[in-house]
């Protein structure tokens, strides 16, 4: 596929032909070997073995529709360390408001269409990163990642998903890197547990963590209360990837038993798809799970000396107790650091650096 081919089919990284660039929208199209290749490269960046600067003289646009700490800082630092220049843009704040819908009559609050926005940026920058959260209003629409898809449709340079309504592949790469560092390579028993939060949150992080864990061949346990199931079609993909990689996927509503034998505990809250557009109904439904669905020392004692992970930011004594978060089992700071190294690996690969 030519590097300038437009379209949403451009969803993976081609490792067979390094010169050919593609968008990085999710890990779906990557094989386990390709994921391992990225993790190896990230490790070389982290250790300082690889000090090449493939972005020298090039700029990368970072488009933030939503707030960010780790993604924004790690991308800016990573681009700098690879020799490049980061151009940070915030539609509706530092730039014009953006319309993404096809055939829209732009007579309201949107000033510029993605069609022009993304193609202009492509004349200035070698790559475009996009961060756009789910609004939790319309499940059928948001599960298609409409804003990210619009960027991918019109781009003439690679697009990186810095978190969308459905996926956060950069976080999941850092997560897989952290598991390999802290627990070792090979198949591990990995628990992803829903945790209580006072309001519904997007599904991008749990979607991508479950997907990448399955692709790496782990024994994945997904624990959540009733009505917080992940997307059915994505779950079929996750199960298929697990079979291909020699792993497994188990889903349970038993929060205590889910911890048994876990080597990794990954906590995250998310909203139920049945509640999209009904935030108050979600808030009321989740109240029943407030005290049971928290990661605490009692549950961690049921594990196989598991490490505790969370993508951050995390609400202390809501998602996880201080006792666990401040313990030696917690690897959340290392996990956050690994965002930098994993993203450098993606940038170097996407922008056509030959090994």
Query: Is residue 345 a part of any domain in this protein?
Result: yes
159, 191: one domain: no
332 or 97: which leads in pLDDT: 332
99, 124: one domain: yes
Find out whether 311 and 338 touch, Cβ atoms under 8 Å: no
Query: What is residue 333's predicted lDDT score, i.e. its pLDDT?
Result: 98
What residue numbers bound the domain in which 275 lies? 171-335
185, 247: one domain: yes
137, 207: one domain: no
Query: Is residue 196 a part of any domain in this protein?
Result: yes
Query: What is residue 11's predicted lDDT score, i.e. its pLDDT?
Result: 44
103 or 315: which leads in pLDDT: 315
Query: Is residue 23 a part of any domain in this protein?
Result: no
pLDDT in tens, 306-345: 999 999 999 999 999 999 999 999 999 999 999 999 999 9
Query: Is residue 355 a part of any domain in this protein?
Result: no
Written in H, E and C, the secondary structure of 293-338 is: CCECHHHHCCCCCCEEECCCCCCECCCECHHHHCCCCECHHHHHHH
Query: What is residue 353's predicted lDDT score, i.e. its pLDDT?
Result: 58
Structure confidence at residue 102 as a pLDDT band (50, 70, 90): confident
63, 159: one domain: yes
**Average pLDDT value for the chain:** 92
290, 342: one domain: no
Of 10-24, 30-44, 65-79, 289-303, the range with the lowest mean pLDDT is 10-24
pLDDT in tens, 166-200: 999 999 999 999 999 999 999 999 999 999 999 99
Query: Is residue 10 a part of any domain in this protein?
Result: no
Query: How many beta carbons lie within 10 A of that of residue 205, not counting itself?
Result: 22
319, 183: one domain: yes
Written in H, E and C, the secondary structure of the chain is: CCCCCCCCCCCCCCCCCCCCCCCECCCCCCCHHHHHHHHHHHHHHHHCCCCCCCCCCCEEEEEECCCCCHHHHHHHHHHHHCCCEEEEECECCCECCEECCCCCCCCCCCCEEHHHHHHHHHHHCCEEEEECCCCCCCHHHHCCCHHHHHHHHHCCCCEEECCCCCCCHHHHHHHHHHHHHHHCCCCCEEEEEECCCCCCCCCHHHHHHHHHHHHCCCEEEEECCCCCCCCHHHHHHHHHHHHHHCCEEEEECCCCHHHCCCCEEEEECCCCHHHCCCHHHHHHHHHHHCCCCCECHHHHCCCCCCEEECCCCCCECCCECHHHHCCCCECHHHHHHHHHHHHHHHHHHHCCCCC
267 or 7: which leads in pLDDT: 267
Over residues 144-171, the mean pLDDT reads 96
Query: Is residue 27 a part of any domain in this protein?
Result: no
Query: Is residue 53 a part of any domain in this protein?
Result: yes
Q: How many domains does the chain have?
A: 2
128, 188: one domain: no
Query: Is residue 14 a part of any domain in this protein?
Result: no
199, 324: one domain: yes
Strand partners, 159: 128
329, 196: one domain: yes
Q: Is the pLDDT of residue 352 over 90?
A: no
Give the Cα separation of 208 and 94 in Å (integer). Answer: 29
Query: What is residue 108's predicted lDDT score, i.e. its pLDDT?
Result: 87
Over residues 132-159, the mean pLDDT reads 95
What CATH number does the domain containing 98 carry?
3.40.50.1370
Over residues 212-241, the mean pLDDT reads 98
Give the Cα separation of 269 and 24 in Å (integer). Answer: 25
212, 151: one domain: no
141, 285: one domain: no
Query: What is residue 15's predicted lDDT score, i.e. its pLDDT?
Result: 37
Structure confidence at residue 257 as a pLDDT band (50, 70, 90): very high
Find out whether 204 and 233 touch, Cβ atoms under 8 Å: no
């Amino acid at each position: 596929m030519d590097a300038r081919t437009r379209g949403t089919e451009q969803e993976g990284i081609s490792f067979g032909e390094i010169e050919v660039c593609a968008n990085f929208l999710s890990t779906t199209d990557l094989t386990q070997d390709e994921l391992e290749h990225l993790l190896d490269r990230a490790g070389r960046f982290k250790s300082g073995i690889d000090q090449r600067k493939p972005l020298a003289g090039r700029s990368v646009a970072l488009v933030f529709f939503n707030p960010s700490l780790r993604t924004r800082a790690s991308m800016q630092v990573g681009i700098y360390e690879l020799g490049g220049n980061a151009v940070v843009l915030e539609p509706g704040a530092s730039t014009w408001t953006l319309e993404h819908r096809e055939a829209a009559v732009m007579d309201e609050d949107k000033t510029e269409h993605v069609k022009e926005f993304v193609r202009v940026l492509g004349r200035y920058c070698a790559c475009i990163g996009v961060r756009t959260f789910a609004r939790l209003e319309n499940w059928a629409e948001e599960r298609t990642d409409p804003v990210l898809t619009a960027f991918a449709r019109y781009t003439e340079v690679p697009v990186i998903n810095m978190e969308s309504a459905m996926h956060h592949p950069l976080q999941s790469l850092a997560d897989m890197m952290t598991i390999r560092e802290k627990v070792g390579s090979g198949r591990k028993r990995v628990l992803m547990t829903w945790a209580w939060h006072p309001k519904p949150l997007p599904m991008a992080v749990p979607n991508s963590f479950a997907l990448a864990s399955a692709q790496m061949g782990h024994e994945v346990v997904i624990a959540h209360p009733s009505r917080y199931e992940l997307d059915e079609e994505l779950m079929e993909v996750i199960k298929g990837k697990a079979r291909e990689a020699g792993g497994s996927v188990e889903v349970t509503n038993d929060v205590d038993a889910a911890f048994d034998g876990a080597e990794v505990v990954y906590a995250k809250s998310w909203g139920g798809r049945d509640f999209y557009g009904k935030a108050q109904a979600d808030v009321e439904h989740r109240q029943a799970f407030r005290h049971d669905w928290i990661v605490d020392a009692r549950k961690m004692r049921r594990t196989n000396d598991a490490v505790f992970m969370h993508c951050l930011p995390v609400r202390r004594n809501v998602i996880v107790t201080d006792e666990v978060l401040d313990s030696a089992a917690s690897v959340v700071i290392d996990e956050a650091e690994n965002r930098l190294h994993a993203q450098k690996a993606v940038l170097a690969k996407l922008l056509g650096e030959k090994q």
